Structure 1
Amino acid sequence: GQHGTTDDHLLGPGEFGGVDLIGSLEISDVEEGLISDVAVFGNYAYLGRYDSASCEGPESGGPDGGVYVIDISDVANPVEVGFIRAHQDTYVSEGVQVVRVDTPTFTGDVLVMNQEGCGKNYKAGVTLWDVTDPTKPKKLAQNFGDFTVDGQRNTPHDANQTHSAFLWDVGDRAYLVSVDDEEASDVDIFDVTDPKRPRLIGEYDLAALFPQILQTDSTLGLNEVFLHDMVVKKIGGQFYMLLSYWDAGYVVLNVTDPANPTYVTDSDFTNPDPEALESAGIVVPPEGNAHQAEFTLDNQYIIGTDEDFDPYAAGVTRESGQVIPASPGSDTPTVPQEGITGETVFVGRACPGDAAVPPGGSGTQIAVVERGVCTFTEKVAAVETAGGYEAIIIINREGSDACTAGFGMSAEGGVPTVSLPRDIGFSLFDAPYDDAACLAATPGAGLAPIDVGAVGETVTLSSYFDGWGYVHLFDANLNELDTYAVPEAHDPACAEGCGDLSVHEVATSEVDPSIAYLSYYSAGFRVIQIQNGELVEVGGYLDPAGNNIWGVQVFESGGKEYVAASDRDFGLYIFEYTPVNATP
């Protein structure tokens, strides 16, 4: 099957409910995890090429990242017709979009590509292409973005990494908003009226500008606050930006004047977690993770998707009895539910070239590592090489986007690993902490004033099942009305062995305000309907060999609505939804 082996993920019946598989295309050089987002414009679909096996090097001679161009004029028989390369060591993730731009300085179809790095030669930011003729793309602007971090000019003079981007045309002008991966001022807005000459007109830290977006209950530990994705829509003559701001929830701003955005409303996460309570009868705090959202066709509702790749939540219990929420590593062993109790040992930054990590001593010891400079995986590997540690705690670095904030970790290794805010890490060793100095510092430049090998508090790491990421239904004021998840997502038996059961993205129907389409990773493609203020599943598709669905996008062809979905391990699917009780 297109998902590789049939082990460790869900297998499906194919079509169910009102969904029909109309067409599909396996990308010519596909490999596991290669395909990212999908966009559709006119007779073409565009698939992002993500972090390939050769992206970091050594080079294979093929492209690293970019966008595949697919002719879908015959929706039943898509054809791969081109590829638009990103820079070497650079890949494309969430920010794939095509928009018709018609301004006094440019008329044409513009492809948006976000840019993130996978090797030392990467060039980040955003790149724009003229795809008025998708078979003959013309570069408009390459690797533009914000060239500063916390007001300091980047050296070398490269744009910050960008996880997503969205372009909108207001008539005489056009604008683009992008996610700045590298600083707290992560909402970057550009004037792209002339897409050959993008101009930064504003960058905003929403937590500082609009502190009311932060979770009202500070005890929940929802402090990973950053922009992940956004859309802009014209409603009643005004332009509104809907931002998915991770642990701050979903936020709506008025961006009719993009240089002066104003606050409209935001959501809070319900405590206890409503979907875990409804699906599994378990009482747990919410995990946060506002990932992506869209307005419904009639603007009466907002549907948001929380991405959560770990069905277990972690915590660190201190000698005082205080429990600190912690974020587990993405690919490290789950902390056992019986817990790990041991004394903490500070081992430094644990990067190549730093002082060697001292081996663990007698008894149970937990290594405390400082974030920064090298990857989380390299830090975990250094601790494993030293030996003698039962678990790892990584504390946050300095910088305006760090310090007391929590953070997730893309980390691989064989030792349970969790993260904690910097101030908590300092207090484990009775080290003085200055938050103002931490926020003002250059990211990763300073080292914690703790001796390598210092022994701190005895703590207990523990975990509990809280399920995978799921879907929220809000009214137009972002009051939560309902939630939805596939049934396997809150079944402890599917905590392992069923694949990634988090929802990823939502695309709302452009013909029926009650219908929305979901990309659901290993749970495939799902269709939900708003019925009496609740989300009800009405159809879907899960391949008999399994799926890994990332992106989802509605489009019209021949007077019908279709849905394009990108499978990370395969390529493109095209679906049509017809209500089961509809008249043929």
Structure 2
Amino acid sequence: MVGTEVANGDRHGLDPAPLPSVSYGVTLLGKATVTNPSGAGLRRHIADVAAYGDYAFLTVYREPTCERTGAYVMNISDPKAPFEVESAFIETTAGNYVGEGPCVIEMANEHFTGALFIHPNEMYAKADAPDPTGPRQRGGINIWDISDPENARLLVAHAGDYTDADDKPADQALAAYYTCAWTDSSTGRTYVSFVTDKPTTDIVIMEITDPRNPVLVNALDLRVAPFDVTGAPSRGLTSMFGHAVEVRQVGGRYVMSATYWDGGYVLLDVTDPTPGNVSLIARTEYAEFDEERAKRGQQVSPEGNAEHCALSPDAEYLVGADESIESYRLIGTITSGPHAGVEYVADWSPGTAPVDDDHPVSGTPTFVGSGCPGTVPPGRGIALIERDASILTGGSAQGCAFQEKLDAVVAAGYDAGIIFNHQGPDALQQFPTASKGKIPLMFVNRLTGLRLLGVPGVTAETAGTTPTPAAPAVCATDVRSEFVGWGYLRLFKTDLDGGRATQLDTYAISEAQDPRYATGFGDFSASHVAIDPERQLVYATFFDGGLRVLSYGDDGLREVGAFREPGTDFLGVVIHKIGEKNYVLVADRNFGLYLFDS
């Protein structure tokens, strides 16, 4: 049986219950809201923030609708009275949206003198596009001249990696995330790195010394030699992909800090970013058990989910944010067939109905193939669905989006859906989808999917190359939920010369580890971090948990400041100098921009 009721609180578009305000150790100076040019409101509309001079740029995510997106331009010349420059909205191409990881860089060379605003382009799935029959658009990165921030000029659109999952030429760039630009002081060359949704070489480096003519320099797959960043399948750490990058000059070399989800945090030497010359400095490991739950007497496997990180100014410390956006983990057990008794972890899509003690999922699934509209037979219980390879990289028009799959199985009468990953190099990855619906939707890796299909002898090593059987003997399963808390911060001591990154401490806000706040109060995971350039302080956002200020050092992480008021939903954070003073800029997903005295 399965549940079809909608959970309370923030997870399904409802306003979370207000928490008490808190303000100490950090001073709110000013804030400014924005006007959604689509007229659709601001619910989870704002993604991230970057800044240049007296201006900040707020990137626009896909919510609450999939209409016009890009970046708002905010005048912050008076930190106590910031405001939106409505006429200066920076719009990206229709069919794209600008999510997390914009960046700004100043340049002065024979090709360009001024400031650049660079943003990534993600692409709408077909079912979510304003015109569902229209083409999917371009991806990659856009580069704007913002020397006059109120009159941004587009220099190039959709620069990026124009290959598909098989390294064949494609007619559009891969979707992009988290840009970071830097200029090599010794060569004068300027580069930008970003992450794509390619299942192999997903960290891209382009030279933009001539920003009107970007050139792809390198594309890295950290899972293979010489990097060999691996997870731990026995502990469920199987989702290996790049998520965010940052590059800093450290002495005579340039160091990239990359988050690699279940692969942890990775430090790379990108002084020479050309193929064969990028080297691994250090990488982090996850403990046997989740540290914050272990402090509370619970032994569960670590979540992984390295989302965002920053190096300290002296490069002796790294602070990382593990982003786990659900406080409950779905644990499945196969109850029949050759893999009876095997447990697995499923990722729940938070826009769908919950799986909990009152509404468990249990029974023998019906395999419905791709689950695309027009192909799903009528049924009840659990629909087992295979992910389409073509949707991942935006290649051909074959297949269908997650939302289409969910809508199709709902229309066919099913009470729950389990999507398993497709065949290929990313077969062991899994993640929650952005689909919305009245039945639970879960995502599992291909190993779990093949086991549910009754494939004997399949292993983590063979799942990616094992085809889906034509006539599977589907096995029964039970799925239950277990409270594991939200994601939290990690502090590492780094030794770049010795090639080490040693974990010193973890930090979670109290609500994140308290089951009383598990539903109905919002999201409390760590999200983004920014490290003060002058003091040993880190500013970290925790969605509805607000902003936290922590000291860091050999004695660990210590909270020294916090800010939260009813309705805050903080995501992006940067430290930016206005005049001669540093300020903390925070993007609020439902509102706009907050400015704090650092």
Structure 1-normalised TM-score?
0.88
What is the CA distance between 1:405 and its match in structure 2? 3.1
Equivalent residue in structure 2 for 1:263, among 254, 268, 280: 280
What is the CA deviation profile of residues 282-328 of structure 1, one whole-angstrom value per residue up to 9, with x for unaligned ones?
22111010000001122111000011111111222123322122222
Equivalent residue in structure 2 for 1:309, among 310, 321, 325: 325
What is the CA distance between 1:542 and its match in structure 2? 0.9
Per the alignment, residue 482 of structure 2 pairs with 464
Instruction: Kindly indicate whether the alpha-carbon contact (under 8 Å) linking 1:519 and 1:526 is maintained by their aligned counterparts in 2.
Output: yes
Equivalent residue in structure 1 for 2:562, among 536, 540, 548: 540
How many angstroms apart in 2 are the aligned matches of 1:94 and 1:255?
22
Write the mapping of 1:162-561 to structure 2, written as runs, cut at 5 A. 162-171=176-185, 172-210=188-226, 212-215=228-231, 217-259=232-274, 260-278=277-295, 280-319=296-335, 320-337=340-357, 339-353=360-374, 355-360=375-380, 365-372=381-388, 373-389=399-415, 391-400=416-425, 402-431=426-455, 448-451=468-471, 456-476=474-494, 477-512=500-535, 514-530=536-552, 532-543=554-565, 545-561=566-582
Equivalent residue in structure 2 for 1:126, among 141, 153, 156: 141
How many angstroms apart in 1 are the aligned matches of 2:209 and 2:282?
28
For the pair 1:32 / 2:54, whether they are aligned, the reply is no
Instruction: Kindly indicate whether the alpha-carbon contact (under 8 Å) linking 2:165 and 2:198 is maintained by their aligned counterparts in 1.
Output: no
What is the CA distance between 1:383 and its match in structure 2? 2.0
* Structure 1 counterpart of 2:482, one-letter code: Y
What is the CA deviation profile of residues 128-170 of structure 1, one whole-angstrom value per residue up to 9, with x for unaligned ones?
0111111222222111100101344455x11111122111111
What is the CA deviation profile of residues 355-384 of structure 1, one whole-angstrom value per residue up to 9, with x for unaligned ones?
223313xxxx43211112322232222222
What is the CA deviation profile of residues 219-254 of structure 1, one whole-angstrom value per residue up to 9, with x for unaligned ones?
111111100101001111110000010010000000
How many angstroms apart in 2 are the aligned matches of 1:434 and 1:475?
35
Per the alignment, residue 86 of structure 1 pairs with 92
* Structure 1 counterpart of 2:428, one-letter code: T
Instruction: Kindly indicate whether the alpha-carbon contact (under 8 Å) linking 1:36 and 1:93 is maintained by their aligned counterparts in 2.
Output: yes
For the pair 1:149 / 2:149, whether they are aligned, the reply is no
Q: 1:85 to 1:358 in 2, by over 3 A?
A: same
What is the CA distance between 1:553 and its match in structure 2? 0.6
Per the alignment, residue 6 of structure 2 pairs with none
What is the CA distance between 1:449 and its match in structure 2? 3.2
Per the alignment, residue 444 of structure 1 pairs with none
Per the alignment, residue 61 of structure 2 pairs with 50
User: Quick check: which one's strand share is greater?
Assistant: 1
Instruction: Kindly indicate whether the alpha-carbon contact (under 8 Å) linking 2:317 and 2:553 is maintained by their aligned counterparts in 1.
Output: no
Q: Unaligned stretches of 5+ in structure 1?
A: 57-63, 442-446, 578-584
How many angstroms apart in 1 are the aligned matches of 2:305 and 2:120?
21
Equivalent residue in structure 2 for 1:73, among 77, 94, 99: 77
Q: Unaligned stretches of 5+ in structure 2?
A: 1-9, 130-134, 389-398, 495-499
What is the CA distance between 1:423 and its match in structure 2? 3.4
Counterpart of 1:304 in 2: which secondary structure?
strand
Report percent identity of matched pairs. Answer: 33
Q: 1:495 to 1:308 in 2, by over 3 A?
A: same
Instruction: Kindly indicate whether the alpha-carbon contact (under 8 Å) linking 1:344 and 1:455 is maintained by their aligned counterparts in 2.
Output: no
How many angstroms apart in 2 are the aligned matches of 1:138 and 1:392?
45
Question: Which segment is superposed worse, 121-130 or 223-232?
Answer: 121-130
How many angstroms apart in 2 are the aligned matches of 1:48 and 1:529?
29
